[in-house]
């Protein structure tokens, strides 16, 4: 949950606040859960909505010194220029496309699960991801982000 929040909000402190707020909303909303989705996707939906709310409010609190992001999956890619370029390019995407990309490509959710989280159909999730990747591809290509590998 922290990972999604971090990618949507961009700061460790905000991500942790979002996770805490999501748990509170889950607690408050438990009685309204009626089995229309799995508990996990329902919880992630709440988290994503919390992140959207925080972004809308432009909430930011000062980043406290944190230990290094220790165990990134694929740690060797940590400072990969393409990764940094993607992080930057993600900011230019439509929020739903960005979330679809983060859920499916980064967190590994299926389109069915991502659809439940985004409250759209499986096909719409697939379309959102396609559009997100297409836009990223164009943005990265125009910024020359693919060039180093081409040269290798």
Partner 1 sequence: MKADCRDLEKALAGENPVLAAAFEVHALGCAACGRELSEWRRISEAAASLRRAWESPELLPRIRQALAEESVRAATDTDASPRRRFVWVPAASIAALFVLATVGLWVFRNGGGREPLTDHWRTTKAPLLTDQAIDEVDAAERVYLSSIENLSRLAEPALSGAMSPVLANYREKLVVLDAAITELKASIEQNRGNTHLRRELLAVYQEKQRTLQSLMKEVKS
Question: Residues 31, 91, 151, 152: which binds partner 1 (CB under 8 A)?
Answer: 31
Neighbours of 144 (CB within 10 A): 11
- Select the span of 13-21, 44-52, 53-61, 91-99 touching partner 1 (CB under 8 A): 13-21
Decide: is 83 part of the binding site for partner 1 (CB under 8 A).
yes
Quick check: helix, strand or coil at residue 96? helix
CA 94-98-101 angle, to 5 degrees, is 140
Six-digit token string for 6: 């971090």
Decide: is 38 part of the binding site for partner 1 (CB under 8 A).
yes
Distance set, CA 94 to CA 4, 100, 131, 136 (Å): 16, 10, 10, 11
**Max intra-chain CA distance, the chain:** 57
Decide: is 7 part of the binding site for partner 1 (CB under 8 A).
yes
Decide: is 52 part of the binding site for partner 1 (CB under 8 A).
no
Decide: is 119 part of the binding site for partner 1 (CB under 8 A).
no
Six-digit token string for 108: 């590994």
- Select the span of 14-22, 44-52, 53-61, 91-99 touching partner 1 (CB under 8 A): 14-22
Decide: is 146 part of the binding site for partner 1 (CB under 8 A).
yes
Least distance from C-beta 44 to partner 1, angstroms?
14
Rg of the chain on CA atoms, in Å: 16
Decide: is 66 part of the binding site for partner 1 (CB under 8 A).
yes
Q: For residue 58, give the DSSP letter.
A: T
Contact (Cβ atoms closer than 8 angstroms) between residue 41 and residue 116: yes
User: Which residues lie near partner 1 (CB under 8 A)?
Assistant: 2-3, 6-7, 12, 15-16, 19-20, 23-24, 27-28, 30-31, 33-40, 66-75, 77-78, 80, 82-83, 86-87, 101-102, 105-107, 126-127, 130, 133-134, 136-137, 140-141, 146, 149
């Amino acid at each position: 949950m922290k990972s999604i929040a971090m990618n949507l909000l961009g700061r460790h402190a905000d991500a942790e606040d979002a996770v805490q707020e999501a748990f509170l909303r889950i607690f408050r909303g438990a009685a309204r859960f009626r089995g229309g989705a799995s508990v996990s996707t329902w919880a992630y939906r709440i988290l994503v909505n919390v992140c959207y709310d925080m972004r809308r409010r432009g909430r930011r609190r000062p980043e406290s010194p944190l230990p290094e992001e220790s165990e990134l999956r694929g740690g060797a890619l940590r400072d990969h220029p393409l990764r940094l370029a993607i992080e930057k390019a993600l900011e230019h995407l439509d929020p739903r496309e960005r979330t679809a990309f983060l859920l499916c490509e980064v967190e590994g959710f299926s389109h069915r699960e991502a659809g439940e989280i985004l409250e759209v159909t499986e096909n719409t999730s697939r379309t959102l991801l396609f559009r997100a990747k297409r836009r990223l591809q164009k943005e990265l290509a125009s910024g020359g982000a693919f060039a180093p590998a081409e040269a290798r």
